[in-house]
Structure 1
């Protein structure tokens, strides 16, 4: 089966990083989040492009992801692990010089006992109730932790993509209270927080989705485009159905294209009967259910048979597609499958 063509514009990625960097003051470092295989774009290629642009600190979810980034970048840049120092991670953290963001007393104890003197950061829970030390736990270990010189003290905003949400101000005040008087660099903001007032920026920001062209960074350049080959076309009579469950029935004589791509490729099933593909500037509705390897598209209104149809393109951003599918751009990007033929547009090319 012929595969779709996934184009990843590293020049646009770098432009987005520079634009987000420009949103903060000259003393604020801009890092880069490259977890989930660089949001589906290829972690190694993404990290190298951003490092060449000037990024010196990278964030991933797990130590295993950190190994890939270290191997891609070599020594020098700091590679930070959001999940902290998990049981079984010690050798990877030591051998690859990774920096875990310690989330609990248990992780703090594990790290200090297994790797005394090794770099680490601290993650605090300021109200998201997901990862990090809460107020009482932090108070109990704060002096010990700070005496070992963490490279970063961070937290994460729950509602930064809603600028007027009261949780933002509450978390800002909690973070200030929990970090008052410390000299270690502090970080509270990912992409959404960068777009909030400068009070949220502290010493370091950690953009993720905005680098890859996603909301809430509306000025972002698109990074990903995806074109899918047409395998076959067929004529349907009025009353004929298509796909599993016969969820779409032709109301008039119709022409359908069977397209290579399905939920095994990250085209999630929620797109069924709810999304369009594009032939140039012409929208073509996806009809019937998304199956594992195939989708069917109504091309009755086209005057020529297309060789391919676009699902991510100038006419349809990752957030447009996510909205149609009832999800968010993060899920669309990180679901992109491995069967596509990937083409990278290098920064500077």
Structure 2
């Protein structure tokens, strides 16, 4: 069975970074988030393309992810770790010159004891209640931490993709309260925060999903295309069914293409009988259930027999597919599996 192909446009990725960099306020550094294997695009290749575009700071979720990024971009760029300094990560942080964003009193103690001269940042909780020091904890250790010269203090917005949500202003005010007057670079905004405007930009922004073509960055250029090869075409008489569970019945004599892709490739079963694939500009309904390795598509209306059909493309973005499947573009991108042939275009 031929695998589907994930086409990745590194030029579009770099262009999205440039546009978001231009939207960041003057004298603000624009970093790049390349966690989750570069949102499914390949962290090493994504990081190299972004470094060529001008990114000098990268963020990953865990120290293990930092290895590929460090190997890809070389020794100069900063590679920061959102999860901080976890137990067992000390050698990796030191050897790969990673910068942990310390999230707790335990992490601060661990880092100061084991890597006392190694660069670090601090993450504060401004209301999301996920990662970071709460206000009372920060008050207790702020002077000690500041004496060790952190390279960055950051927090994370919970509702930045909803510009009018009151949580945005609430977190902004809390971040000011916790950090104003400190002589250290500050960062609050990912993609959504950049689009909220310069009040949220501080000294560094860190776009993620917008780099890869996802909302809330509506002007993003598409970065990924999923091309699914057609394995077989069959004629299905009226009244017969297709796929597991008999969920689709041919109302008229139909031509059905079976393509190589399925939920083992990160394509959710929730789009069964709802989505379309594309032959060029022509939509072709997905019929029946998405199975582990296969999808069936109605191509009765096509004049020719397609060799492949596109699931993700300019006509159907990751967010379009996510809406159909009741999820978000992040999940669509980061679920794309290892079976894809990945082809890169610069």
Normalised TM-score (structure 2): 0.98
Give the distance between the partners of 1:314 and 1:61, measured in 2 at CA. Answer: 29
- Find the residue that maps to 2:157 and give its secondary structure: coil
Give the distance between the partners of 1:198 and 1:15, measured in 2 at CA. Answer: 21
Q: Which segments of 5 or more consecutive residues in structure 2 lack a partner in the other structure?
A: none
1:253 paired residue number:
253
- Deviation string 1:29-73 (CA, Å, 9 cap, x unpaired) is 000000000000010000011111111100000000011111111
The answer to whether structure 1 residue 238 and structure 2 residue 245 are counterparts is no
1:336 paired residue number:
336
Give the distance between the partners of 1:289 and 1:281, measured in 2 at CA. Answer: 23
Give the distance between the partners of 1:28 and 1:324, measured in 2 at CA. Answer: 37
Q: Which runs of 4+ in 1 moved over 4 A?
A: none
Matches of residues 117-132 of structure 1 in structure 2 within 5 Å? 117-132=117-132
Q: Which segments of 5 or more consecutive residues in structure 1 lack a partner in the other structure?
A: none
Structure 1 residue 26, shift from structure 2 partner: 2.4
Give the distance between the partners of 2:85 and 2:279, measured in 1 at CA. Answer: 48
- Deviation string 1:62-104 (CA, Å, 9 cap, x unpaired) is 0000111111111011100000011110010011110000000
1:133 paired residue number:
133
Matches of residues 1-349 of structure 1 in structure 2 within 5 Å? 1-346=1-346
Structure 1 residue 238, shift from structure 2 partner: 2.2
Structure 1 residue 239, shift from structure 2 partner: 2.2
Give the distance between the partners of 2:329 and 2:168, measured in 1 at CA. Answer: 22
Give the distance between the partners of 1:203 and 1:14, measured in 2 at CA. Answer: 21
Structure 1 residue 252, shift from structure 2 partner: 2.2
Structure 1 residue 296, shift from structure 2 partner: 0.5
- Find the residue that maps to 2:184 and give its secondary structure: coil
Give the distance between the partners of 2:314 and 2:168, measured in 1 at CA. Answer: 33
Give the distance between the partners of 1:303 and 1:49, measured in 2 at CA. Answer: 40
Q: Which moved more, 1:88-97 or 1:266-275?
A: 266-275
Give the distance between the partners of 2:159 and 2:269, measured in 1 at CA. Answer: 27
Structure 1 residue 332, shift from structure 2 partner: 0.9
Count of aligned residue pairs for this structure pair: 346
- Find the residue that maps to 2:267 and give its secondary structure: coil
Structure 1 residue 25, shift from structure 2 partner: 2.2
Structure 1 residue 2, shift from structure 2 partner: 0.8
Give the distance between the partners of 1:199 and 1:64, measured in 2 at CA. Answer: 33
Give the distance between the partners of 1:266 and 1:18, measured in 2 at CA. Answer: 29
